[in-house]
Structure 1
Amino acid sequence: MKKLFLLLMLLLPLSVVAQKETVWKNTNMWIEKGGRKIFGVLHHPENVKEKLPLVIISHGFNGTHHFGKNYFEPLAEMGYQTFSFDFPCGSVNSRSDNNTMNMSVFDEKNDLKVLVDHFRHMDYVDASKIVLIGESQGGLVTALAAAELPKAVNKVVLVYPALCIPDNWNERYPKDEMIPDTTLVWNVPLGKRFFQEVRPLKVFDKIGKYKKPVLIVQGDKDPVVSMKDSEHAVKLYKKARLYVIPGAGHGFNPEELKQSIEQIRIFLNEK
């Protein structure tokens, strides 16, 4: 009995040391399909060989993978690997493709579906626990992609999702012939195709097809995305809740981001 006790005492420190030695690192990746190349960064553990859950983060309009890095450490603490990427043509700074004249909500939706399919077949990913997080336009894209991937995506987080994009641009251009060849949006040039494609898109007829848990996080002072759209979306989902950050706009300051991440932590830990 004494020998067993001594053995346990010797093994315990080794176990603690082993846990502390888990190192998380960033690995640059290129994922290609159908001639489209997607650049991203995978935040993952260096010394762990078992399958781990994965979060795929979609940035907003004219954003990049840098947005997702805010989530790397918090998600790692929860045991999640994270992949943050640049949508091809999604930004003037995109490493995938910076020609924003070819930006397309539908291309972005399909790119996200490609990423889900890619990672669900990787031996280091627990395919039953793939989570999508999308911000602003990336939130719209995430909601649309999840609706077409009801079994492959375990949970969804929408951060001030721009579900209003089709309605907003249909108000701006009521008729197809009114759309110019080039439109500047926040000094970012967009081609005619972007607006033509979203004209017939009925967002709220589609997103509710996703039946698994959804969390929406938004500020009540958002000048870009209406609270009414997020409130409407919550009612369409089978399992969803809306967390409102008082005073927050379209984009969170450090304290608001902290609140958002805490809600995401609670959401991901719920069974």
Structure 2
Amino acid sequence: MTERRKISFESGGARCVGYLHLPENLAEKVPCVVLCHGFSGTMDRLYPHAERFAAAGLAALVFDYRNFGESGGQPRQFVDVSGQQDDLRGAIGFARSAQEIDADRILLWGNSLGGGHTSSPWRPTIRASPPWSRKSPSTDSRRCATGPPPRRASCRP
């Protein structure tokens, strides 16, 4: 059974809330996948993916951008792209500071607008695996997280 722990971090004057999904029987630090949802989504839509990553032995962090879901911020339901990118940087910072996570092995995974955030210009600060931002029924998330880098931004075999 994987563990799901509620977390929070500060970003842009708002408290962002998320959940860290951890694999069972942690004996050493593990890589972490930071999942980014789309335009005006909330983290609950990403729980099934996070649970699959955790079941495969990886940590997975989901979070709500400021102004959405469980996170603070005003006005509610307001999409601020640069603010969401700041929130993603905050989530990465949280992941790197968590004692269970190998700070040098952070992977970004996003869908919709979240996929765009994973390829922002500041992305080179992610040193481990290149981020994959495509999510589709033909994408194998486990292979993306653990396998060799894909060709042309797709994880298809």
Q: Scaled by the length of structure 1, what TM-score is found?
A: 0.49
Task: Tell me how far 1:104 sits from its aligned partner.
Answer: 0.7
Change (3 A) 1:100 1:137: farther
**Residues 64-213 of structure 1 mapped to structure 2, 5 A cutoff:** 64-89=42-67, 91=68, 94-97=69-72, 99-100=75-76, 102-144=78-120, 147-153=121-127, 154-159=129-134
- Cα deviation, 1:127-152, whole Å, max 9, x if unaligned, reads 121111111111122221xx313132
Higher RCO (CA 8 Å, separation ≥ 6 residues): 2
Partner amino acid, structure 1, of 2:130? K
Report the equivalent of 1:60.
38
Aligned to 2:145: 268
Question: SS at the partner of 1:158?
Answer: coil
Shift of 1:115: 1.4
In proportion to residue count, which structure has more helix? 1
Q: Residues 26 and 140 from structure 1, CA distance in 2 versus in 1: closer, same or farther, beyond 3 angstroms?
A: same
Change (3 A) 1:101 1:65: closer
Contact 1:130 1:155 in 2 (8 A): no
Q: Report the alpha carbon displacement of residue 101 of structure 1 after superposing the two structures with TM.
A: 6.0
Please show how residues 19-58 of structure 1 align to structure 2 within 5 Å: 23-45=1-23, 47-58=25-36
Specify whether residues 67 and 157 from structure 1 end up closer, same or farther in structure 2 by C-alpha distance, changes over 3 A only.
farther
User: Does the CA-based 8 Å contact 2:12-2:83 persist in structure 1?
Assistant: no
For 2:106 and 2:131, the matched residues in 1 are separated by 9
Task: Give the Cα separation in 2 of the matches to 1:77 and 1:34.
Answer: 33
2: CA distance between counterparts of 1:53 and 1:34? Answer: 26
CA shift, 1:99, in A, is: 2.8
Q: 1:96 to 1:268 in 2, by over 3 A?
A: same
| Equivalent in the alignment of 1:189 | none
In the alignment of these two chains, the number of paired residues is 146
The share of aligned pairs that are identical, in percent, is 27
- CA shift for structure 1 position 102: 4.0
Is the Cα–Cα contact under 8 Å of residues 107 and 126 in structure 2 kept in the other structure? no
**Unaligned stretches of 5+ residues in structure 1:** 1-22, 160-216, 219-255
Query: Which contiguous aligned blocks of 4+ residues in structure 1 show a shift greater than 6 angstroms?
Result: none
Which residue identity is paired with 2:131?
V
CA distance 1:121–1:104, shift in 2 (3 Å): same
Q: In structure 2, what residue type is equivalent to 1:152?
A: I
Distance 2:43 2:66 in 1: 11
1:225-236, aligned counterparts within 5 Å? none
Change (3 A) 1:73 1:120: same
One-letter amino acid of the structure 2 residue matched with residue 269 of structure 1 = T
- CA RMSD after TM alignment: 2.1
